[in-house]
Amino acid sequence: MDYLAFYMFGAVCLVLLAGFPVAFTLAGTSLGFAWLGYYLEVFDEAFLMALPNRLFGLMMNQTLIAVPLFIFMGVMLEKAKVAENLLESMASLFGKLPGGLGISVTLVGMLLAASTGIVGATVVTMGLLALPSMIKRGYDPSISAGTICASGTLGQIIPPSIVLVLLGDVLSSAYQQAQLDMGIFAPDTISVGDLFAGALIPGLLLVSLYLIYLITVAIIKPDSMPSLQTDNNNDIPKLSFSQLLNGLLPPLFLIVAVLGSIIGGIATPTEAASVGAMGAILLAFKQKQLNLPVLKSVAQDTTRITSMVFMILIGASIFSLVFRGFEGDELVKELLSDLPGGVFGAMLVVMLVMFLLGFVLDFIEITFVVVPIVGPVLLAMGVDPVWLGVMIAINLQTSFLTPPFGFALFYLRGVAPKSITTMQIYKGVLPFILIQLLAMAAIAYWPQLATWLPNKIYPD
């Protein structure tokens, strides 16, 4: 009976693997175990009485209002065909260089990640737009697929990202709980802005490592990444300087306005997200893509995705209450504290478990279910909250790239031409997985990569 909390977690994973909806799986399985625990007299039903207060707290959470606004911004930019214009501009700019199209795809993926923050949308969009073009121009299928998958998952780490918004809110609560458990009754707080600032350098580091790898491959194996010849027989036109600026500056200005206002302390994430949403509308209007059917489609997609996120959050709240009712948080604390290696051993185990869970759970479930369980324990052991958030984000990004279950691989497989095999996709992402692991090792060895910028921007 002492391990009912872990049995419940295992049951949730099994039911999810069977294909049941995440939100109802979390809530239904938790309530079932709560009834079992009450029947066996090992669970106090008073824990469930706290659920209305939990849900009211979610409704009053100002930070979470940013979620539907960022989703609206990303969907609107997708409908406005910003990706097509960006890819066309970048291809014209870098196309004549060896590996130029691969460089263009990576940079566009980075900009889309900062614009949308939605991994699935970025991978699918780039798969539809760039993959056929890369194959047509003689690019190696594995390198093409790997580049698109890797650049598409940058939405996990490059701010402003929905992942970081949700993770920042959860880590803020975990950090306060950890300090209260240690007897600190005037706890410090962290904000989404702290996490955005902390993720900026690691995100740019990843992009730089991707580009270094692609340039190296283009030099060593030029046939696998040939340069483009812009002529009358090429469907990538030669753009004028004004056309380049017209394609690049509006989305760049939008990203800088949103991210800069948050990091600079000018606006809260919610206020900046509203600016981003309005900016996306104006950008769609400028691209002549704004009309009633588009607005209707954007509103429907935003409502559907937002509803999914908050339904999962409600299910996770029920799971968290039942888990604590079974004293699962104390079990986790004891297990992590007893591991050899202290903080390093605990971090290693948590990162490994999250990596494996990334095969079966999306980032939303892991953020709402796993982080509240392990976060307070690690933070009470002295782990920096910003550094922990960045490590979790990159770890999940790596998990989503890893065969055979990585989410990004499934997204690309769904839109890739039949001529590209699954094994070619798996082969293409392996170098990027090694780059991810290298980046994680660097951030683990030099935590300042994640903590220096927030400390400079938000000094104590």
Q: Is residue 431 predicted with pLDDT exceeding 90? A: yes
List the domain range (segments joined by +) for residue 208.
4-457
d(CA 237, CA 54): 55
Query: pLDDT grade, residue 116 (50/70/90)?
Result: low
Mean pLDDT for the stretch of residues 37-43: 86
Q: If you average pLDDT over residues 63-82, what whole number do you get? A: 82
Is the CA virtual torsion 417, 419, 422, 424 positive or negative?
A: negative
- Which residue reads 């604390």 in tokens? 333
Name the nearest CA neighbour of 386 among 158, 192, 180, 113.
Answer: 192
Task: Compute the chain's Rg from CA coordinates.
Answer: 23
d(CA 254, CA 257): 5
Residues 6+ apart with CB under 8 A from 92: 230, 236, 237, 238, 239, 244
Residue 440 has pLDDT above 50, yes or no: yes
Question: In which band, very low, low, confident or very high, does the pLDDT at 240 lie, cut at 50, 70 and 90?
Answer: low
188 against 166, higher pLDDT: 166
Q: What is the pLDDT of residues 20-34, one digit of tens each?
A: 887 888 889 999 999
**Contact by Cβ (8 Å): 168, 190:** yes
Residues 272, 258: contact at Cβ < 8 Å? yes
- Residue 286: the pLDDT is 82
Three-state DSSP class for 326?
coil
Residue 19 scores a pLDDT above 80: no
Q: What is the value of pTM for the model shown?
A: 0.83
Q: Judge whether 36 and 240 are in contact, CB under 8 Å.
A: no
419-441 average pLDDT score:
92
Report whether 322 contacts 8 (CB < 8 A).
yes
Nearest-angstrom CA–CA distance, 49 and 30? 14
- 35-44, 55-64, 107-116, 273-282: range with lowest mean pLDDT: 107-116
CA dihedral 19, 16, 394, 392 (to 10 degrees): 160
Highest mean predicted confidence (pLDDT) among 90-94, 260-264, 321-325? 321-325
Q: How many domains does the chain have?
A: 1
pLDDT tier for residue 442 given thresholds of 50, 70 and 90: very high
Q: 3-state DSSP call for residue 209?
A: helix
% of the chain exceeding 90 in pLDDT: 20
Would you give the distance in Å from CA 372 to the centre of its chain?
Answer: 17
pLDDT tens digits, 249-260: 888 888 888 888
Please name the residue ranges forming H helices in 42-130: 51-59, 66-79, 82-94, 100-116, 119-129
Q: Look up tokens 């209707």; give the residue.
A: 296
Highest mean pLDDT among 79-83, 244-248, 249-253, 344-348: 344-348
| Distance (Å, whole) CA 246 – CA 195 | 31
Beta carbons of 251 and 111 less than 8 angstroms apart = yes
